[in-house]
Amino acid sequence: MRPEEVAALIAVIAGLFFTTRPLVAALARRIARDPAPNALADGAVEDLRAEVDEARGRLAAVEERLDFAERMLAKQREPDRLAPPRS
């Protein structure tokens, strides 16, 4: 490589270093400041369990209603199927 190419390569590397260094430092400060951003509060787990239990109960009620509606629709169709053939 010629000396001009080496100097240009060093300039590019130095420029990348000086432009990315503040970004990396800011990211490091943010990571150090907030060690566990996804940690749940003490009562949050119990609240979530209560909400899941409530949702399960509501889902069970909807399943019962759906089953009842399916049975009612099935009863309405039975006479049509059992009617004698028309001649």
What is the rounded average pLDDT for all residues in the chain? 82
In a domain, 26, yes or no: yes
In a domain, 17, yes or no: yes
In a domain, 70, yes or no: yes
In a domain, 43, yes or no: no
Question: Which regions in the chain score pLDDT beneath 70?
Answer: 34-42, 76-85, 87
In a domain, 44, yes or no: no
In a domain, 45, yes or no: no
Q: What is the DSSP letter of 39?
A: P
Number of domains in the chain: 1
Specify the pLDDT at position 84: 66
Residues spanned by the domain of 57:
3-35+53-81
